[in-house]
Structure 1
Amino acid sequence: MTGEGSHDFARVRRIVKTDEFSSVFRLRPAQKTAHFVLYTRPNTLPHARLGVVAAKRFAPRAVTRNTIKRITRELFRTSELQALDCIVRLARPVNTKAGPATTSALKAELRVELARLFASQHPRRAATSRGAPAPAAP
């Protein structure tokens, strides 16, 4: 699976090292939803990077954790984010071990929450489209 292009999720777009996760976690959360917390930190790369944390205590079934990661990566790839390190952390239980692992309703709810998180990080287009004020004429 070597997808080259703007919608890939190559290793350079991932946060993988423990110290990279720690440096982003040290900052305050940028945004919270019912189930997720988003942490961000500006980076010096030409693109955004993503880390996903889905703890077993909040999603006991592996299929649920994998669904969360898959939806998060998909929305991250299609979002136009500035150069940020983003960590999405599951912060509340999404289901129980006895309940269904994934349902279309759960997937839709998670997709809406994650889309809201990434949308909150879009660059402000209104401020950048006006540009700097013109210099005064002599």
Structure 2
Amino acid sequence: MKALTFPKSSRLLKPSDYGKVFDDVQLRVPHRHFLILATPNSLGHARIGLVFSKKNLKLAVQRNRVKRRVRETFRHEQEFPALDIVVLGRRGLTELDNTALNATLTELWARLRKKNRQLQKPTTSELSGTGKGTG
């Protein structure tokens, strides 16, 4: 069973960490209420950063509730790929209750894993070794 903690090693802590994700987005998972941006890292485990603005979530209570739900669902994900992930909140998040938030986030994590597998999968020309200029 996974530990029930959220260590610093699982978080994006510095502005430079966020900058790397924003500057080199390789995976985008859009949703009506969220936007997830990710890029592979060399650490061997996933890290997450959260961006929820006052413009989209007016009250601190709302922002904190959504951040807790995002962290909790991320923590419960099994075998997450080595990615640096930034989760951005969009308008309308306050309309969702915790059950709907959990369901939405679980679906988004699955979509992110699927897109990562597609990104990692080599193309057919790389598999067959029949590229131009080989003969």
TM-score range, shorter chain: 0.7 to 0.9
Q: Hey, what's the Cα distance between the residues in 1 that align with 2:33 and 2:92?
A: 7
Which deviates more from structure 2 when the two are superposed, residues 109-118 or residues 53-62?
109-118
Amino acid at match of 1:19: S
Amino acid at match of 1:121: L
Q: Hey, what's the Cα distance between the residues in 1 that align with 2:56 and 2:92?
A: 4
**Residue 14 of structure 2 corresponds to residue 17 of structure 1:** yes
Q: Which residue of 1 aligns with 2:52?
A: 54
Identity of aligned residues (%): 32
| TM-score after normalising by structure 2 | 0.74
What secondary structure does 1:6 align onto?
Answer: coil
Q: Which residue of 2 aligns with 1:32?
A: 30
Q: Hey, what's the Cα distance between the residues in 1 that align with 2:113 and 2:92?
A: 27
Q: Of 91, 99, 106, which aligns to 1:108?
A: 99
| TM-score after normalising by structure 1 | 0.73
Deviations 1:12-58 (A, max 9, x none): 11001111101111226510111000001101112100101111111
Q: CA deviation at 1:107?
A: 1.8
Check conservation: 1:50, 1:85, Cα contact below 8 A: yes
Q: How many corresponding residue pairs? A: 113
Query: What is the RMSD computed on CA atoms of the aligned residues?
Result: 2.1
Deviations 1:66-125 (A, max 9, x none): 011100001101112111111110022324xxxxxxx8x52222222211111112365x
Q: Hey, what's the Cα distance between the residues in 1 that align with 2:27 and 2:90?
A: 12
Q: Which residue of 1 aligns with 2:108?
A: 117
Dislocated runs of 4+, deviation >6 Å: none
Q: Hey, what's the Cα distance between the residues in 1 that align with 2:61 and 2:98?
A: 12
User: What are the ranges of 5 or more consecutive residues in structure 2 without an aligned counterpart?
Assistant: 122-135
